[in-house]
């Protein structure tokens, strides 16, 4: 979810069904990731707390060069990243501790070097690069990809 999206922050003007759909966005997204498909996350701008917790779950990440990743030193960030299985699988135990407990922050280049992302894109182009990657994956044989 884009926190700057004005549609997201005006729930009083939404129907009950729209508010329920909005509230279940994260759950539905994570559920979709448990299927047998490649998942790709495009990251532009800051990705902290719950956003960072979600971003470590897809198979691949494309990150913008000036991206800022990490967590806030707050109880909500600890709860967001509290389920550490995904960061540990992605980074290994020592790096996951640096990411979750020490709340280190990274630029896009540093995130790729650290192992938080696999691909670096120019600012404003992470989504386009993620789509190119998805198109390439779609051309590959289905069984090896699964």
Residue 26 in tokens: 């994260």
Predicted local distance difference test score (pLDDT) of residue 3: 60
Predicted local distance difference test score (pLDDT) of residue 76: 46
pLDDT-derived band of residue 70, with 50, 70 and 90 as boundaries?
low
Identify the structural domains of the chain with CATH numbers, from first to last: 14-145 (3.90.226.10)
DSSP conformation class of 11:
G
Give the residue among 118, 139, 140, 113 at the shortest CA–CA distance from 129: 118
Which pTM was predicted? Answer: 0.71
* Mean pLDDT lowest among 7-11, 46-50, 118-122, 124-128: 7-11
Q: Averaged over 93-106, what is the pLDDT?
A: 85
For 17-64, how does the pLDDT look when each residue is reduced to its tens digit (9 = 90+)? 877 777 777 677 767 666 667 889 999 988 877 778 788 888 999 999
């Amino acid at each position: 979810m884009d926190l700057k999206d004005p549609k997201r922050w005006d729930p009083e003007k939404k129907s009950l069904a729209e508010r329920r759909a909005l509230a279940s966005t994260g759950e539905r997204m994570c559920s979709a990731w448990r299927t047998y498909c490649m998942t790709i996350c495009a990251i532009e701008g800051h990705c902290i707390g719950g956003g960072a917790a979600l971003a470590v779950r897809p198979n691949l990440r494309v990150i913008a060069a000036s991206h800022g990743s990490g967590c806030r030193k707050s109880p909500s960030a600890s709860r967001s990243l509290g389920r550490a299985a995904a960061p540990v699988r992605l980074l290994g135990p020592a790096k996951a501790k640096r990411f979750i407990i020490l709340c280190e922050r990274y630029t896009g280049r540093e995130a790729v070097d650290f192992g938080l992302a696999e691909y670096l894109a120019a600012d404003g182009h992470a989504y386009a690069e993620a789509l190119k990657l998805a198109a390439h994956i779609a051309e590959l044989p289905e069984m090896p990809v699964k």
